[in-house]
């Protein structure tokens, strides 16, 4: 540590500046997301643990096989959920564009992309609402599982318990993301960021939104694919 004082000031970790070259808000957002990753991780790992400790499990393809306006008894597994997945990916893309536009101080582009993101989020939530409603109409709910295991034996209720809890928790995150984005939109339109001279807040909202997308990647795989 025998550095002279002049050398210290230029050092990354030498104090007096952020070693990561980011403001504290973004740093906090990252650490919050890590913490939230542990929350979701704990949920999904619990789900895995219960699945591993059970002999049979329902086949997702026989459960999630319908889509809106489909005729009764349609058999189209993975179709609807892939639409949901793409909606979320696209909304993530528009969010990236909004953040990028913010960096370039283009207010109009920010607003347009934010609106598109919000629409994507609402579309996703609507899809989820439809799916929940559909499953509910089939008799599935917390504590109610009408589906059988893949091998035809009786299934415990934990299939639906975990499905509703985890997608519900994810949906709650999407909802809060949409609310955050609406706030960002209002702040953009009222020129609050212009006055501040930077759109850093949108970057943080963007991080949150991408995280929601990231979680969906895991939820989608764990519940629908494997």
- Footprint on residues 206-225 left by another protein (CB under 8 A): 206-207, 210-211, 213-214, 217-218, 221, 224-225
Residue range at the interface with another protein (CB under 8 A); choices 19-27, 110-118, 123-131, 182-190: 19-27
Q: Residue count at the site for another protein (CB under 8 A)?
A: 102
In a 3-state reduction of DSSP, which class is residue 144?
Answer: strand
Site for another protein in 166-185 (CB under 8 A): 169
Nearest to 210 by CA among 109, 105, 94, 38: 94
Residue 108 as a binder of another protein (CB under 8 A): the answer is no
User: Which one of the spans 38-46, 110-118, 121-129, 177-185 is the region binding another protein (CB under 8 A)?
Assistant: 38-46
- Residues near 63 by beta carbon (within 8 Å), at least 6 away in sequence: 135, 140, 147, 159
Backbone φ and ψ for 55, nearest 5 degrees, come out as: -75, -40
- Residues 6 or more apart whose Cβ sits within 8 Å of residue 93: none
Among 68, 74, 89, 129, binds another protein (CB under 8 A): 89
Give me the least distance between CB of 59 and another protein, in Å please.
8
Among 126, 129, 143, 192, the residue binding another protein under the rule CB under 8 A is: 143
Measured from the CB of residue 43, what is the shortest distance to another protein in angstroms?
Answer: 5
Footprint on residues 45-84 left by another protein (CB under 8 A):
45-46, 48-56, 61, 77-78, 82
Residues, the chain: 226
When the beta carbons of 117 and 178 are compared against another protein, the nearer one is 117
119 makes contact with another protein (CB under 8 A): no
| Contact call for residues 35 and 26 (beta carbons, < 8 A) | no
C-alpha 112/C-alpha 101 separation (Å) is 10
Interaction with another protein in 188-207: which residues (CB under 8 A)? Answer: 198, 200, 206-207
Interaction between residue 96 and another protein (CB under 8 A):
yes
Q: Which is nearer to another protein, 85 or 185 (CB)?
A: 85
CA distances from 16 to 4, 6, 12, 24, 30 (A): 15, 13, 9, 13, 21
141 by DSSP, 3-state: which? strand
Q: What is the largest CA-CA distance in the chain?
A: 78
42 contributes a contact to another protein by CB under 8 A: yes
Q: How far is residue 94's CA from residue 3's CA, in Å, rounded to a whole number? A: 47
Q: Least distance in Å: CB of 87 to another protein? A: 12
């Amino acid at each position: 540590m025998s550095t002279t004082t002049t050398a210290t000031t230029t050092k990354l970790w030498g104090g007096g500046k952020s070693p990561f070259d980011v403001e504290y808000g973004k740093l906090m957002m990252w650490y919050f997301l890590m913490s939230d990753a542990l929350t979701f991780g704990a949920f999904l790992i619990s789900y895995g643990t219960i699945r591993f400790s059970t002999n049979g499990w329902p086949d997702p393809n026989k459960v999630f096989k319908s889509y809106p306006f489909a005729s009764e008894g349609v058999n189209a597994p993975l179709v609807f959920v892939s639409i949901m997945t793409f909606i979320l990916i696209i909304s993530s893309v528009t969010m990236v564009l909004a953040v990028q536009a913010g960096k370039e101080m283009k207010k109009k582009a920010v607003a347009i992309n934010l609106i598109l993101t919000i629409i994507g989020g609402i579309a996703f939530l609507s899809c989820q609402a439809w799916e929940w409603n559909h499953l509910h109409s089939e008799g599935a709910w917390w504590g109610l599982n009408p589906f059988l295991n893949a091998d035809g034996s009786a299934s415990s209720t934990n299939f639906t318990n975990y499905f509703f809890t985890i997608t519900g928790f994810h949906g709650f995150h999407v909802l809060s993301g949409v609310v955050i984005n609406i706030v960002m939109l209002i702040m953009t339109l009222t020129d609050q960021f212009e006055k501040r001279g930077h759109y850093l807040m949108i970057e943080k909202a963007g991080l949150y939104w991408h995280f929601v997308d990231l979680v969906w990647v895991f939820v989608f795989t764990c519940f629908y694919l494997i």
